[in-house]
Each structure stands twice: as C-alpha cells, then as structure tokens.
Structure 1
Amino acid sequence: MKERKPGHTYLKRLFLAFYIPFAVNIPLAAYGWYMGIWPDLKAAEALGQAARNLILVMVLVMTWAIWMVFQVMPKRKDTYASWRITIMEGGRSLCYAAIYGFFAQVPILLKLYPGFGKGLADKRILWASGIYSAVMLLLLLWNGILRIFLTSRRLRLRTRVIMVLAMWIPVVNLLVLLHAMRLVHEEYDFECYKQSVRNVRAESDMCRTRYPLLLVHGVGFRDLRYFNYWGRIPRELTRYGASVYYGNQEAFATVVYNAGDIRKKIEGIVEETGCGKVNIIAHSKGGLDSRYAISMLGAAPMVASLTTINTPHRGCRFVDYACRLPEGLYRFIAGCFDRGFGRFGDSHPDFYTATHQFSTDSSCRFNETVPDVPGVYYQSYTSLMKDCLSDPLLWLPYLLIRAVDGANDGLVTPESAMWGDFRGIVTNRKHRGISHGDMIDLKREDYRGFDVVEFYVKLVEELKNKGF
C-alpha cells in the first residue's frame, strides 16, 4: 500500500480541526468580519470597507470550494484502493468530520457565542449561524452514511437494518454508526491487502493444477449463467491459472441420477482437454454425487482427487426426525418442491428420495456400498457456526440440528463431514463463525478472520503441489 507521510497527515488533520468549525459557522464569521468585530477593530477599519468586502468574498469562495471538494471528491489514500472502497472510506472520513463538527460546536456555543453576542446589536445572527451549522453538518454526516451504506460489502443486512432503526435514537445511533465505520475501515484495509496480493501474484500460476478443476454444487441450487453458485471463487482461481468447469447436475435429483450427469461431465472434460483426469471439488450433497460417480459408475480412472466441502457423508439426525412426518404431508411438501424445481430447470426432481438420502440409516448403507477407490485422493473440510445468529438464512436448521446432533454449520455436523484425509474445521475467532453457505461464498461477503476466496486458492495450490 502507498506509504503515508506522517507529517502530511498531521498537517491535514490540524487544518481540518480548524477548517470544519469555521466552514459550518460562515454566517457568524462573515458577519464578524463585515462588522469589523474580528480581527482587531482598528486593523479592520484601516483596510477600508471595500478591501474588507473583497477579502470576505475571497475567503467565502475559498471556503466553499474546499468544502465542495471535501464533500464530493474522495481522496485515494492507498495505491491499491479501488474507486468503490475509496468512496466507502471517504464516507467514513466524512462521518468522522461531521461527528467532530458537532462536538466542536459545543465550545463555540459555550464560549464564543456568549462573548461574541454581547457586541451584537442583532443577535438573530447567532440563530442563523446555529441553524446553518446544523444543516451543513447533517448534510456532511448523511453524505458519509450513504456512501458507507451503498458501497460496503461487509455491512450485512442485519447491520443495515439496525442502522435504519437506530437513526432516531440519540446515543444509540452514534454507537451503531461507529460500529459500522469500524467495519468498513476493516473492509478497506482488507481490500487493499487483497489487491496488493493480486499484484504480487499477477504472473503466478499457483493454481495451474495438472488436471482441470470440476466444481460440483450441492442440493437446491443449479449452475446458472448469471448467478454463480461458487461466488467469486472461480474467477480468482482462473486468475492464477486454474482451468475451471462445473458439474451442471440437477438441484433436487437423487444421488444416482446426479452421479450420471457428473460422469458425463467428466468424460466431456477429459475428451475436450486430453488431460486424462480431473480434480473434483464438491460442496454439500455434491460430494455424495461425486463419490457415487467415482465408485459405482466407472469414473474413477478419470478422477485424480475428490475434495468434499461440508458434505453430509454420515447423514444428519435431524433428517431422521423429519422423515417421521406423516407420509402424506411429506409427499405433499416434496411435490411442491418438485414442481418448483421442475420450472427451475430440473428434468428429474425427486425431493422425497433426495432428502431421505440424508438420513443416518441411508448414509450408513451408502457408505457400505460406495467404498473409496484406491488411486483417488479423498480429502474433506467442514465449518462451524458459532450460534443461531451467525447466519440469518440458517438459524432455524442450526437450532434444530444443534438440539439433536450438536455443533454444526447450519446443516451438517463435523462428524458427518469427515471423510478421507480430513483437513480440519474452518472457523474464525469472531462471533459469527462460518456457515454452510459461507463456504461457497454464497453471499459474496467478506468476514473477519476468514477469507473464503483465499481458502480455495490455497486448497488448489496444495492440490497442485501434490501433483494433481
């Protein structure tokens, strides 16, 4: 990042410390100058009225010009800062300036105004200046808030809702705003760091594996053209030399049916590239689909490695309880899903069977009949939510699974996700934790203590170093 000169920074802050109170009290300052109250009355009289008027106009024009530049043109602090985060960080600076301006008004009101007012024939100028300063500072504050609100990716929906609800509550609104400002500053530093890393890796082929990557999605989603299941991950992998393909299997078909689609996809990749094999990275149910394709449909000779992410290899006890619902009710729910995903693009949706395959009994039978194939490298990862507030989309299944099965990622427990060479539980030291959806960059958000895109870069780099 661009080196900041301490002396320059201190001078800028010192300038703003005097400039902001002056700029928002222009009516008071202009009146005082025009009337010759300040500077020294004798010196002001010696200048003459015309000279005083000219100087006043020049000061006002300069003050307004600086104010407009300060409001409109955010300064790029770091070489690696994009315009988005520059505008965002500029919003944070505007908020700090506005907060400082409001606090700076206190000594002005308590000390300057009373003493100044004794010399005024018309004290209405004090009211005019007070209203003017309040309006100017509020405009400054809302300019900053809107920049933060509209450009930040780290402010989650919950934080944005709290900001809106708390805006009319004194003190609380300030605390919420300070929290948001801290988050966007962390986002700014993170984005600058990421860009600096990209620049260093510009000519890198760290993700250029021997065999292409096949990304296999989980249940309930499709590989769509305009909404990538894997978020920002594929673009970053290709940036560093990876060759990426997608499974394109159905959202709610059975394991057996989807495994057939995956085998056909593998054959197509091998034929297209002449590479001989692929590395599969599969999320959630995609791991089961891939295992079946490898072990039961003859895809093993064309697969170098299988990495499963948050895959329920041993099922979920919560599904055991769900399967106890009245048969008629369960099939009615399944029919609704099948009709919906049929319109979504599935040609063979089977919600009833696909969900029953997540039960512990079904998973046990699956593992007995679908053994790992020697010569294929199997590894697995999983993650954990800290509590039900970690991910608003998965709070209910998290609580239900927590009650019957223990800690989980919102859908899968670590014990169920362990398969082959288990590489560990992905989490962070923050309150949020990492959910089932976070592991595929579902929300395109960056979380403190976890960089999902970098996680996959390192994962693929390790596959390359292993010779895959």
Structure 2
Amino acid sequence: MKKIRGTFLSIPVLLLANAPALWKLIDINSLLKTLIIILLTLYTLVFMFKSHGRKGSHGKIRRLDSGAFVLGCGVLQSVIQLIIVIVLCFTQLNGWRLLANALCAYAVTTLLCLSGIVRIAASARQVKILWYVILLFTWYIPLVNCIVFRKFYKAARSEYYFEQAKLDLDAARKENEICKTKYPILMVHGIFFRDWQVINYWGRVPNELIRNGAEVYYGKQQSANKVSVSATEVAERIKEVIAETGAEKVNIIAHSKGGLDSRYAISHLGMDKYVATLTTINTPHYGCKFVDMLLGKIPESIQGFVDRKYNKLFTALGDKDPSFLDGVYDLTYKNCSELNASTPDSQLVSYRSVMSKMNSIRSAGFPLNIGYLLNKPYGKGNDGLVTVESGLYGENSKMIEHKGKRGISHGDVIDLFRENIKDFDVREFYVDIVKELKEKGF
C-alpha cells in the first residue's frame, strides 16, 4: 500500500524531472508552463523534506521510515526514468533537448535519492560503514548508484520494521512490567571496558530492560585489574546499590571477566548475603588457554610496553590504578583453575551461566576473528575469546543455539555492535533472562 502511495505522490516529481521534454511536447502558453514548473519545483522540495514516516512513531524511527520512503521513490523513479529516456529517443525531440531532459532527470532523481540517504544516515544503525564508502564513490554513476541506493533502502526498511515491532511489543506489554524483579539488576562489565555514560557497554539492552520495568545499575569497576581487586570494587558497588534502593539484595548479570569478579566478591568478600542471583554471560570460568599460549610466546619486554601504554591511556579515561597484565594473567587457564579451587559457590546464591559461539571466522571482525582461530585448538567452539567449555559453568547452564552461518560472538552477546542479527534478538534475550528471574521470585 505504501509503495502505491509513494508512486502516486511522486508523479509530480517525475513530471519535473522531464520538464525540458514536456516543455517542447505540450502545446500550451509559455507563462502557464513556467507557472506549472514553479509549482512542480515547490512540490518536489516539500516532498523531499516532508516527514513521510508513521505518525506516533519514535523520532528516529519515523525519520528512518521517512528516509526509506523517499529513497524508495527515488529508486523507482530511476527505473521509470530509464524507460522514459528510451521512449523519448523515438520522438521528434532533437539531441540537445534530449540531453537537457536527461540531465534534468538525473539531477532531480539523484537529489531525491540523496534526500532519503541523508535521513537514513542520521537514523540508521544497521547500514555498514563499507556501504557509505561505496556510496561516496558511486552516487554519481547512473545505474550503479541505483544498486547502492537499493541496498540502503532495504537495510533501512528492515531496520524500521524490526525497531517498530520492538516498540509495539514494549507498548503492548508495558503494564505487565515483565522485567520488574524483586531485586534490582546490577550489570557488571568485562575486561578492557568501562561503564561510560556516552557509550553503553551493554548497547541497547539496559533501556529495553528499563522499558519493561527493570531497575538497572552498573558495576563501575575499573577496566582491567586482578580479579581480587575488581571484585572489591564490585562489592563496594553492591553495597552502594543496596543503600540507594533499600533492597535486601541484587541480581547480578555479568559478562566475560565480570563473572569472575562477581564470583570472587560473592565467595570471598561476603557478598553472598547481598546477592540473590548471578547470571554469567560468556565468562571464562575455566580460563582462556590461548591466553596462556600467547603470554608464553610474547617477550616480557613487549608485554610490559603494552601494559604501560594501556594503563596510561585508561588512567586518563577515568581508571584509578588499572593493570593490563594483572587482568590478562587472571584469565589464564592456570589462574582460573586456582580461582575455581578456592572459590566454591555459595548456597545462598542462585547461579546460572550462558554461552554462545561463532560459527566461522566471518562471524565477527577484528580482533574476535583472530581470537576465533587462536581458540579453535582448545575446544569444540568459541565466541572469539572464550571456549564453550569454559563458558558453561554449573548445573544451570544454557547454550545459545544460532542456526545461521554467523553465530553469536563475544561482542554480539552484549550488543556491543548494536546490530540486529537474524534469528537472535539480543535485547529480547536479556528480557527473557530477567523475566525468568522475576517469575522465580528474585
């Protein structure tokens, strides 16, 4: 229906695109022709910049819908215009008139497409950078640019339908507050990251949980340090959240090394009485054997150099006393084995673990694709950093099964790249985790 509407509404734009030919072919007063062209020009400008998105939609989503609509009309006009150019060649129009008409049609159609592209670029998250680079070098090439424009159109429409469906779903279940747990959620990040306000480690997940009733807080530990040091920071954060909310306990959802930090805080720092549940996501409970291998081969001088540079950088970014090497060494198989031996699970806490895996080297970009290859000799599958065997911990463990060629990487599972992956809705994945916690009384 929307395509039919778009075709109908863009007819005046098509007439303007062929104004040089119509001026010659239509026998009416020149003043009237000029007036018609002015009106068609004004209509085209309004059509290009007016919002065509669904009323009531979120601002960005509506802009995305509008951009896709305008771009779709532009691509369709490009095809129709090609037919018109061929037909006009068999009329009495001379070569100069045909050339002028072709240039006018090219200019109007290209501007229409670029108008849609600008809106998409301002709103879309699913169009890869590579396509913007390709667009930069091809937007002026007829036919080739149509192929690129269509790629943008399909990506924008797909994202719009997905995001609008999410908003509709959240609106339909808003009153149910399916993520409103008894205890607040504490999300604990992994190594080499911080809980920045501008760039959320957990991507779009926290806002999705909040929209469904969850009360979300962050671990705020430093980016890299020994498990024991990070655990102390997590323990302090647990106490802060309890003091702030008045809750008796918290539900921890921890990713990567954050799971080790949380386990240490629970078992060694007395946090078991303040933690109701611990859900670890792709945590290397049994270490990363490829890290042992790399540390055994990389000279200590280089290790020290990287350590100093990293610590200096992240001190500037807000860490108090980061330690790159201490954090990395605590991810080795040896150190994790020692941690497991000295860190029994508390009977006061309900534990669960989740793990995913990549299905090929093309499942993720650098450095996870390299990590995928380095990890292959050490397990039956891995997420680019952690093997399946290391990530599945305890009796209540779950493997994310993804049937596609891509699989789910260490970054995908926390929405690091803000990508809508086919057959894996990362936001709904966390909604289901928290929903289950609520259903179990946590």
Alignment-derived partner of residue 360 in structure 1: 333
Alignment-derived partner of residue 324 in structure 2: 351
CA distance in 2 between partners of 1:133 and 1:411 (Å): 53
Opposite residue 66 of structure 2, the aligned amino acid is G
1:244–1:16 distance in 2 versus 1, CA, 3 Å: closer
Q: Which residue, out of 69, 74, 80, partners 2:51? A: 74
Aligned length: 440
Q: Which residue, out of 417, 428, 435, partners 1:454? A: 428
Cα deviation, residue 161, structure 1 = 3.2
Find the residue that maps to 2:280 and give its secondary structure: strand
CA distance in 1 between partners of 2:83 and 2:244 (Å): 74
**1:67-113 CA-partner distances (Å, limit 9, x unpaired):** 2222111312x345333233333333333333333332344333334
Alignment-derived partner of residue 59 in structure 1: 36
Q: Which moved more, 1:361-370 or 1:60-69?
A: 60-69
- Given that 2:52 and 2:69 are in contact with CA atoms closer than 8 Å, whether structure 1 keeps it comes out as no
1:349–1:15 distance in 2 versus 1, CA, 3 Å: closer
Cα deviation, residue 159, structure 1 = 3.5
Cα deviation, residue 395, structure 1 = 2.5
- Given that 1:316 and 1:405 are in contact with CA atoms closer than 8 Å, whether structure 2 keeps it comes out as no
CA distance in 1 between partners of 2:129 and 2:407 (Å): 17
Q: How does 1:158-237 map to 2 (within 5 A)?
A: 158-165=130-137, 167=139, 173-237=145-209
1:418–1:329 distance in 2 versus 1, CA, 3 Å: same
Cα deviation, residue 363, structure 1 = 1.5
1:444 aligns with 2:418: yes
- Given that 2:354 and 2:398 are in contact with CA atoms closer than 8 Å, whether structure 1 keeps it comes out as yes
Q: Which moved more, 1:397-406 or 1:234-243?
A: 397-406
Opposite residue 357 of structure 1, the aligned amino acid is D
Cα deviation, residue 53, structure 1 = 4.5
Q: TM-score under structure 2 normalisation?
A: 0.90
Q: How does 1:101-112 map to 2 (within 5 A)?
A: 101-112=77-88
Find the residue that maps to 2:90 and give its secondary structure: helix
Alignment-derived partner of residue 118 in structure 2: 146
Cα deviation, residue 443, structure 1 = 3.0
CA distance in 1 between partners of 2:103 and 2:40 (Å): 18
**1:97-156 CA-partner distances (Å, limit 9, x unpaired):** 333333323443333343233xxxx65333322221122122222222333233211112
Alignment-derived partner of residue 272 in structure 2: 300
**What percent identity do the matched residue pairs reach?**
36
1:23–1:404 distance in 2 versus 1, CA, 3 Å: same
Structure 2 unaligned regions, length at least 5: none
Q: Which residue, out of 243, 247, 254, partners 1:275? A: 247
Alignment-derived partner of residue 304 in structure 2: 331
**1:315-354 CA-partner distances (Å, limit 9, x unpaired):** 1111111120333332333233233333333333232232
1:388–1:170 distance in 2 versus 1, CA, 3 Å: farther
Instruction: Provide the alpha-carbon RMSD of the alignment.
Output: 2.6
1:328–1:107 distance in 2 versus 1, CA, 3 Å: closer
Find the residue that maps to 1:153 and give its secondary structure: coil
Alignment-derived partner of residue 39 in structure 1: none
Opposite residue 261 of structure 1, the aligned amino acid is E
1:368–1:97 distance in 2 versus 1, CA, 3 Å: same
1:135–1:416 distance in 2 versus 1, CA, 3 Å: same
- Given that 2:279 and 2:351 are in contact with CA atoms closer than 8 Å, whether structure 1 keeps it comes out as yes
Cα deviation, residue 184, structure 1 = 1.2
Q: Which residue, out of 431, 438, 441, partners 1:464? A: 438
- Given that 1:317 and 1:405 are in contact with CA atoms closer than 8 Å, whether structure 2 keeps it comes out as no
1:26 aligns with 2:19: yes
Find the residue that maps to 1:306 and give its secondary structure: strand
Find the residue that maps to 2:130 and give its secondary structure: helix
Find the residue that maps to 1:305 and give its secondary structure: strand
